[in-house]
Amino acid sequence: MSTIALPPSPKAGSGDGVTPFKVTGIVNYDRLIEQFGTEPLTPELLDKFARITKREPHHLMRRGIFFSHRQLNEFLDAYEKGHPVFLYTGRGPTSDSLHLGHILPIEFTAYLQSVFDCIVVFQMADDEKYYFNDGTDGKKELSFEEITRCGRENTKDIIACGFNSKKTFMFSNREYSLGCREYQLFALETMRIIPEKKIRAIFGELNTVGQMMCPFYQAIAAFSRSYPHLFGDKLAYCLVPYAIDQDPYFRLARDIAPRMYPCSSEKIDLDPTRKRKMGLLKPHSIICKFLPPLTGFAGKASSTGANKDSTIFMSDTPSVIAKKIKKYAFSGGGGDGSMADHVKYGGNIETDMPFQYLRHFLRDDVKLEEISKSFANGEMTCGQIKEILVQVITELVTEHQKRRSLVTDEIIAEVYSTK
Ligand code: TRP
Q: How far apart are CA 7 and CA 135, in angstroms?
A: 38
Q: How far apart are CA 337 and CA 321, in angstroms?
A: 24
Q: How far apart are CA 148 and CA 250, in angstroms?
A: 25
Q: What's the confidence (pLDDT) of residue 272? A: 74
- Residue 262: band (very low, low, confident or very high) from pLDDT cuts 50, 70, 90: confident
Q: Is the CB of 242 under 6 A from ligand 1?
A: yes
Q: How far apart are CA 76 and CA 82, in angstroms?
A: 10
What is the mean pLDDT of the segment spanning 315-332? Answer: 96
118: nearest Cα among 186, 176, 53, 74: 53
76: nearest Cα among 47, 111, 115, 48: 48
Q: What distance in angstroms lies between residue 309's CA and the mean position of ligand 1's atoms?
A: 23
Q: What distance in angstroms lies between residue 90's CA and the mean position of ligand 1's atoms?
A: 4
Name the closest-CA residue to atom 11, ligand 1. 90
Ligand 1, pocket-test mutation among 123, 169, 250, most atoms within 8 A of CB: 123
Q: Is the CB of 128 under 6 A from ligand 1?
A: yes
| Size of the chain, expressed as the number of residues it contains | 419
Render pLDDT for 58-114 as a digit per residue (tens, 0 to 9).
999 999 999 999 999 999 999 999 999 999 999 999 999 999 999 999 999 999 999
Q: What's the confidence (pLDDT) of residue 20? A: 65
Neighbours of 219 (CB within 10 A): 24
The answer to whether the beta carbons of residues 333 and 382 sit under 8 Å apart is: yes
The answer to whether the beta carbons of residues 100 and 280 sit under 8 Å apart is: no
Q: What's the confidence (pLDDT) of residue 16? A: 54
Q: Is the pLDDT of residue 18 over 50?
A: yes
Strand 85-91 versus strand 66-70 pairing type: unpaired
Pick the atom of ligand 1 nearest to 214's CA: 1
- Residue 1: band (very low, low, confident or very high) from pLDDT cuts 50, 70, 90: very low
Q: Is the CB of 111 under 6 A from ligand 1?
A: no
Per DSSP (E only), the strands in 32-152 are: 39-40, 66-70, 85-91, 119-124
Q: Is the CB of 91 under 6 A from ligand 1?
A: yes
Name the closest-CA residue to atom 4, ligand 1. 92
pTM of the model: 0.93
Q: Is the pLDDT of residue 6 over 50?
A: no
- Residue 203: band (very low, low, confident or very high) from pLDDT cuts 50, 70, 90: confident
Per DSSP (E only), the strands in 66-189 are: 66-70, 85-91, 119-124, 168-172
What is the mean pLDDT of the segment spanning 114-142? Answer: 95
- Residue 307: band (very low, low, confident or very high) from pLDDT cuts 50, 70, 90: confident
Q: Is the CB of 130 under 6 A from ligand 1?
A: no
Q: What's the confidence (pLDDT) of residue 10? A: 37
Pick the atom of ligand 1 nearest to 218's CA: 9
Render pLDDT for 356-404 as a digit per residue (tens, 0 to 9).
999 999 999 999 999 999 999 999 999 999 999 999 999 999 999 999 9
